[in-house]
């Protein structure tokens, strides 16, 4: 079974930004596409615990339905929709969470390196310039 969180990750990794709309206890993940089309992932009412997906158009209604979707079928449905609507998918190499972790790690490395270099320079300067005693008049 596919959870809503996993569905959001799959949608985002395929360059689809879903909006989450909740009607009562039912959540809908709605992704707006070109020319008024939308891709909707919601709870499958005919199969409890599963999700389903729809390709919807405001004038024509639901065009395609995918029932009991899992990770693989959701990815295939997204690719099918992108092919039908001729949308070029730019798959992300890294998602936003991974980018944040990488940025924090690089910042930590930079700060640590700066501290080490600064401490080394101060230590070197202290060794090279011994204190000169003051001359008494």
CA angle 53, 56, 59 (to 5 degrees): 165
| CB count in 10 Å sphere of residue 19 | 10
- Describe the crossing of helices 71-84 and 4-13 by its angle, rounded to 10 degrees: 40
The answer on pLDDT for 112 being more than 90 is yes
Asked if 41 and 77 count as a contact pair (C-beta separation under 8 A), the reply is no
Model pTM score? 0.60
Cα–Cα distance for residue pair 50/72, rounded to 1 Å: 14
- What's the mean pLDDT when you consider all of the chain? 84
Asked if 52 and 41 count as a contact pair (C-beta separation under 8 A), the reply is yes
The answer on pLDDT for 91 being more than 60 is no
The per-residue pLDDT for range 71-82, each reduced to its tens digit, is: 898 989 999 888
């Amino acid at each position: 079974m596919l959870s809503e969180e996993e569905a959001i990750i799959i949608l985002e990794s395929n360059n689809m930004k879903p909006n989450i709309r909740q009607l009562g206890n039912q959540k809908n993940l709605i992704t707006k596409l070109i020319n008024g089309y939308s891709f909707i992932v919601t709870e499958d009412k005919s199969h409890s615990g599963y999700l389903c997906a729809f390709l919807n158009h405001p004038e024509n209604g639901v065009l395609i339905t995918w029932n009991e979707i899992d990770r693989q079928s959701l990815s295939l449905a997204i690719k099918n929709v992108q092919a039908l609507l001729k949308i070029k998918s730019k798959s992300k190499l890294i998602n936003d969470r991974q980018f944040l972790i990488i940025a924090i790690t690089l910042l930590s490395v930079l700060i640590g390196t700066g501290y080490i270099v600064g401490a080394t320079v101060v230590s070197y300067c202290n060794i090279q310039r011994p204190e000169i005693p003051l001359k008494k008049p």
